[in-house]
Amino acid sequence: MEEGLANLHLLDEEEEAFHEEDSAVDRSYQFCLVGRYLTDSVGHFPSLRNTMTDLWHSIGEIYISDIGDKRILFQFFHAVDVQRMLFGTPWFFNNHLLILHEIQWGEDPLVVLLFLSEFWVQIHDLSPGKKNIQTEKERTVYARFRYEKLSLFCFICSKLGYGESFCQFCTRLDPSKIVFG
């Protein structure tokens, strides 16, 4: 060991640091989905990963990783798996809605907007044969709606993720103007 160190020479010069351009780095998110659960509570990530892996039964492997900022990266290895996951929405874990987005080329999974989700809405108590409702300005029509496992929805501002009691929009409204059906 001393012989190896005898040939060691230290220089006072510093080498220029190597910088890679962002475009040169391959940030391929092919067959990847980014998701977020609509909950403010802290979830147990290992349970989520195990449950979703067992539930989805993907053709190829699936890697599920926590990428921070309450976002989860789902990496598949077959296009069929990605389409099955998107087609099977809505997905839930512990009764919390999972919002999924297929990452396109050039998108950053940490900044992509996660606020849209498809779900079924049933309208009840309409007259048979009616397909649409037309109203006059002074007339109000009420109908009953049923939502497919809709969790945490604010009926005042129409956003997912919280209820009316936590709506920031409510604080700017006159309480007499808020109407609940």
Q: Is residue 169 part of a domain?
A: no
Confidence of residue 97 (pLDDT cuts 50, 70, 90): confident
Q: What percent of the chain has pLDDT over 70?
A: 69
DSSP, collapsed to helix, strand or coil, labels residue 63 as: strand
Residue-level pLDDT at 26: 45
Query: What tens digit of pLDDT does each residue of 52-61 get?
Result: 988 888 888 8
CA-CA distance, 130 to 127, in Å (whole number)?
A: 6
Residue 39, domain member (yes or no): yes
Residue 21 domain-assigned?
no
- Residue 179 within any structural domain of the chain: no
- Please report, for the domain that includes residue 55, its CATH number: 3.30.70.330
Indicate whether 8 belongs to any domain. no
Q: Is the residue at 75 inside a domain?
A: yes
DSSP-assigned letters across all residues of 111-153: TS--------EEEESPPTT-------TT-----EEEESS--SE
- Give the predicted TM-score (pTM) of the model: 0.63
Helices (H), the chain: 2-6, 45-56, 79-87
181 inside domain:
no
Q: How confident is the model at residue 107 (pLDDT cuts 50, 70, 90)?
A: very high
Task: Indicate if the pLDDT at residue 24 is higher than 50.
Answer: no
Is 149 inside any structural domain? no
Domain coverage including residue 92? 26-102
Domain count, the chain: 1
